[in-house]
Amino acid sequence: MSGTADHTRRSGRPPRGEPILDRAFKVLGAFARTGESLPLKTLASRAGLPKSTTSRIAAQLIGVGALERLENGEFVVGLQMLEIASLAPRGHGLRAAALPFMQDLHRVTRQHVLLAVRDGHEAVLVERLSAHDAVAVKYRVGGRLPLDTTGIGIALLAHATERVREDVLAKAAAPARVRQLMAMTRSEGVCAAAVPNPVDAGPATMSTVAAPILGRGGEALGAVSLVGPDEAGTQMASRIALRTASLAISRALGTAVAGSGKGPGQPPGRGPATA
């Protein structure tokens, strides 16, 4: 390791000249679960910053509503973050178009119905509908999912740029299997697989069926998936339902932006997101 890295670890100081925004997002990124509250010590540890720096930044974030402080002194994410996040075009516009179809799937299956978009080499979950008695799943709204080990991630990866696909495959534990599922997605419009359950409670494997939501140019605007117990007997019905829902969402997005001159869910002046 370099001398700089050793000095940073010994002193506990952030890298010299690190922008305040970078440090602020480290503090905000320390929260891992919905509704989680953190004491200053834990907040600083997760952010990788000294307590004094964390305290100063947290105070500034409280001032703008990005954080709130509870009576016991612990910190929680502020409502201002929810207000800002709700304006994200790739998440909010897609969610509004997809939600009616997701609700139909949820009523029929009583399992988890997920909606995600791709952000670089990961997927970001923008909506999840779950029944109270559904098998527990790991991922939360706003959380990040791998592209190579989740059905919804593979559905997005199948329509990513070649560079993104190769980057992800280079690090994948089972690249041949990922390629096979991507080929299924492109040829059938849906992929289905049994995957390990990341949650200790429940079955060892889960069934995931996912379909990309494509724009007019064939780009993936997002993906929708159904996650439940590994029951092969229901998989064909799930494939048909997911494929139908994804096509309906694509049509709904196309109708919403007809004549707008830009792709569905994209801010002005930008093409389809392929970050």
The predicted structure's pLDDT at residue 85? 66
The region, left, alpha or beta by phi > 0 then psi within -120 to 50, assigned to residue 40 is alpha
Tell me: do 17 and 139 sit in the same domain.
no
Tell me: do 77 and 190 sit in the same domain.
no
Residue 236 has pLDDT above 70, yes or no: yes
Residue listed under structure tokens 């098998």: 135
Q: Which residues pair with 124 in a beta bridge?
A: 117, 144
The predicted structure's pLDDT at residue 267? 34
Of 83, 116, 139, which one is at a domain's C-terminal end?
Answer: 83
Give the pLDDT band (50/70/90) at residue 77: confident
Tell me: do 62 and 100 sit in the same domain.
no
- Establish if 261 belongs to a structural domain: no
Of 83, 102, 127, which one is at a domain's C-terminal end?
Answer: 83
Residue 102 has pLDDT above 90, yes or no: yes
The segment with the largest mean pLDDT, out of 15-24, 189-198, 232-241, is 189-198
- Establish if 269 belongs to a structural domain: no
The predicted structure's pLDDT at residue 200? 62
Percent of the chain past pLDDT 90, that is, above it, reads: 39
Q: Which of 129, 117, 43 is nearest to 85 (CA)?
A: 117
CATH of the domain at 196: 3.30.450.40
The predicted structure's pLDDT at residue 78? 84
- Establish if 67 belongs to a structural domain: yes
User: How many C-beta atoms lie closer than 10 Å to residue 13's C-beta?
Assistant: 14
Tell me: do 155 and 28 sit in the same domain.
no
Tell me: do 60 and 150 sit in the same domain.
no
Lowest mean pLDDT among 5-14, 118-127, 136-145: 5-14
Tell me: do 60 and 112 sit in the same domain.
no
pLDDT digit string (tens) for 153-180? Answer: 999 999 999 999 999 999 999 999 999 9
Tell me: do 49 and 178 sit in the same domain.
no
Is there a contact between 15 and 8 (Cβ–Cβ < 8 Å)?
A: yes
- Establish if 273 belongs to a structural domain: no
- Which of the pair, 109 or 83, is modelled with greater confidence? 109
Residue 2 has pLDDT above 50, yes or no: no
Q: Give SS3 for 266.
A: coil
- Number of domains forming the structure of the chain: 2
Tell me: do 128 and 234 sit in the same domain.
yes
Tell me: do 124 and 79 sit in the same domain.
no
Task: Determine the structural domain holding residue 249 and report its residue range.
Answer: 89-256
Tell me: do 61 and 115 sit in the same domain.
no
- Establish if 158 belongs to a structural domain: yes
Tell me: do 200 and 166 sit in the same domain.
yes
Give the pLDDT band (50/70/90) at residue 272: very low
Tell me: do 122 and 235 sit in the same domain.
yes
Lowest mean pLDDT among 18-27, 82-91, 183-192: 82-91
The predicted structure's pLDDT at residue 25? 84
CATH of the domain at 76: 1.10.10.10
Residue 101 has pLDDT above 60, yes or no: yes
The predicted structure's pLDDT at residue 1? 34
Range list of β-strands (E), the chain: 67-69, 75-77, 112-119, 122-129, 144-146, 191-196, 205-214, 220-229
As a whole number, the mean pLDDT across the chain is: 79
- Establish if 65 belongs to a structural domain: yes
- Establish if 188 belongs to a structural domain: yes
Tokens standing for residue 223: 């993906």
The predicted structure's pLDDT at residue 162? 94
